[in-house]
Amino acid sequence: MISRYSRPEMARIWTLQNKYEVWREIEVLACEAQSLLGDSGITAEDAAHIRASADFSVERIAELEKTLRHDVIAFLTNMNESIGEPSKWVHYGMTSSDLGDTALCYLLTQAVDLLLEDLSRIEEICTRRARETRDMVCVGRTHGIHAEPMTFGMKFARWAFAIRRAQQRLLAAREVIAVGAISGAVGTYSSIDPFVEQYVCEKLGLTPDPLSTQIVARDRHAQLLAALATAAASAEDIALEIRALQKTETLEAEEPFTSGQKGSSAMPHKRNPIISERICGLARVVKANAQVGFDNVALWHERDISHSSAERVVLADSTIALDYLLNKLAWVLDGLVLYPQRMRANLDATRGLIYSSHILLALIDSGMSREAAYRVVQNAAMQVWEDVQNAQSGATLMQLLADDPSCPLDAAQLDEICQPEQFLMRVDAIFDRLC
């Protein structure tokens, strides 16, 4: 991922320096485990020496890899230069994937832990702002068309619930990916005792893979990438709603516009939702990368390395991009500017059409059939709709119905029915669930 969309803490996880530090720790732990077994020739003193002296240089490894064409061997060659004679016990009985896959899973747990912190922050913001705006009346929209009154707090609450589900999916994926495998060439432990795997995994906070055919099965990584993609999709859903609400014709909400910020090189008046648009754009990357995870599941026989090159890109890019866009989303949500007066103006813009469902029910309660009641309300509604769309002055839905002899409700009854608060009498149930 390019530096523009990388936050330092997440980006550091995917540096070569951090990866080699984890590789070194795994190799040292494996040596310590072998010394505890006492059947391979490595002594406690050897293991202690390896622990104290094992070192590496990113630059030296890169230099060696140019000739060796193998990153693990280049790493081991460089590290052994600092160890000396006991280096013969390093990587004893192991294969490259024992090191690489165990380290990768550990790096992914580091990345997921940061993402869980990001999600927790967004969930807290959405929950807090939902409570703040639980009584802020606005119009609900279906198909982009005004439907019925609701509260803006319901939008924040919906987002909070979505983020909670993202947290649950990511926690489940973390458990699936937090495994290690040190089982040898095709996973038979032919040259290494399972105790070594158990010891290393325990020290790293991982669980031994119950059966690794030299590699950890990639359905685990696919599940993680799917969880990342779903979290990105939920973030995109939120950002897209904010973009829609910030349109000039709507303008019920607006992402923060900071002091000194400029919205357009040509039009000084512009205040564009650029951060929300960036979130939507980066979410596409994370979602697309999930497909690579699915493609990586099917490998030849016990293993091949067709997955390796692809996941070096998508695992790092997806976690870095998601971390970045979640941080931006938290900033937008925390500072989201709301315009209640504009919400009210939009609520009234269709001259009472948004109350049609309650009028329909009131007519049914008065004794009319549903078909007859629907026809009465729709006939009046279509007349109002035409006036609104043509920007013509005209009566409200309530006024037309009050003058309609086929409507048994008088003006006072219609006025009582057509109050936004009548639609919100039971929303407390939603906010009780949020708590």
Active site (catalytic) residues: 143, 264
Q: What is the DSSP letter of 254?
A: E
Residues near 311 by Cβ (< 8 Å), separated by ≥ 6? 104, 218, 221, 292, 293, 296
253 φ, ψ (degrees, to nearest 5): -150, 155
Q: How many helices (H) and strands (E) does the chain have?
A: 17, 6
DSSP 187-235: SS-SSS-HHHHHHHHHHHT-EE-S--SSS--THHHHHHHHHHHHHHHHH
The closest of 75, 12, 104 to 310, measured between CA atoms, is 104
CB 115 within 8 A of CB 322: yes
Residue type, position 87, single letter: S
Handedness of CA 287, 292, 297, 302 (dihedral sign): negative
Handedness of CA 334, 335, 340, 343 (dihedral sign): negative
Count of CB atoms within 10 A of residue 36's CB? 14
Handedness of CA 165, 166, 167, 168 (dihedral sign): positive
